[in-house]
Structures are given as C-alpha cells and as structure tokens.
Amino acid sequence: MHPAAPRRGGGGRGEAELLADLRCGNREAAETLVELTYPLIYKSLYRLCGDADAAADLTQETYSRAWRELAQFDGRSRFSTWLYRIAYTTFLNHVRRPQRFVPFDDVAVESVERGQPLGDDPLLRLDSLRLRREVLALPEELRFAITAHFWGEVPLREIARQEGLTTMAIRKRLRRAIARLRTRMREEPS
C-alpha cells in the first residue's frame, strides 16, 4: 500500500468514507486524513525547500487550500496524490514570492556557519543542496514527475492520472529528468 494512502483507520473507515464525512463537516474525518497524510506532505515540502519552519508553514497552507478546494477533488486519483499536487503548487507559489525567497546557497552557508545540520535525510545534507538546485531547475513537467515520484512517493500510475497521461509517458519524463540530472551533476559545480 502507498505510504500516504489512507489505511483503514478512523474506526475502519476508508478514504472514500472519510472524504464523504469531511464534506459533511465531520472534524474527526479531517483530523484522520491529516494524520494519515501529514508525514509525507511535510517530508516532501521539506525536501523541496530544505527548511523545517518553511516546510511546516507550507504544509499548513497546503491543508488550508485543500479544505477550501475539496469540492474540486473528483476522486480520479488518491486523495494523497491530489494533496501532493496542492503541496507542490504551494511550494512553487512560495518560491515565486520575491520577499520570501532565500537562495539555497545562503541557507546552506548560514546553517554550516552556525554548525547546524541540514537534516538526517541524505537528500538534505550539504552535498545534496546542488541536487535540489538542479531538480528545481528542471522544466516544470520533468520537475513535477521527479519530485512527486521520488520525494512525494506518489506511484507512477497516480502521477499519470493527475497529469492526464499514460504511465509510460511519466516513465519517459522520469528517464529524461534523471538523464539531465546525471549530466548536470557530472559537470563542474556552478
């Protein structure tokens, strides 16, 4: 089972039942859905931005937006996949706000100067800041496929549904993205 897919929790209710209850205003259903999806959404946003406080704020913003837009969720994909797309868009909106954007290099230097670790996750260590920069520099379609699948742990089938494409098309995007990343990572650091 997908890590962020709601398991039979909340009194044995499945995702569809929890969503139906949520649409009727059931706070417990909302809390159960958050409990089931929060770790993956937060972790994905943390990988994207590399800052725990920003990731927590963006996660809150993601859920706030999801609850406002719940009527638009059509059930073609898992709730967690739809939620990841909202989180990803929330992150992009965050970095596009000039007053809030801090270059990754400045964050890394500042953290290292203060002797603070950048995280236990290998993707968040200092040497991976370049990888994060390269991922974020990919064209939108490749960037979403790579971050959704590897950082958001969204299955290929779910990404394909979300994007309105075939699983094969998503695999091709991932191969192109990985090839570009390998090429860029072999080059001298910029």
- For residue 190, the model assigns a pLDDT of 55
Please indicate, yes or no, whether the overall pTM of this predicted structure exceeds 0.85: no
- HEC string of the chain? CCCCCCCCECCCECHHHHHHHHHCCCHHHHHHHHHHHHHHHHHHHHHHHCCHHHHHHHHHHHHHHHHHCHHHCCCCCCHHHHHHHHHHHHHHHHHHCCCCCCCHHHHHHHHHHCCCCCCCCHHHCHHHHHHHHHHHCCCHHHHHHHHHHHHCCCCHHHHHHHHCCCHHHHHHHHHHHHHHHHHHHHCCCC
Poorest-pLDDT segment among 149-153, 168-172, 174-178: 149-153
**pLDDT per residue as tens digits for the range 30-56:** 899 999 999 999 999 998 888 899 999
Question: Is 50 exceeded by the pLDDT of residue 151?
Answer: yes
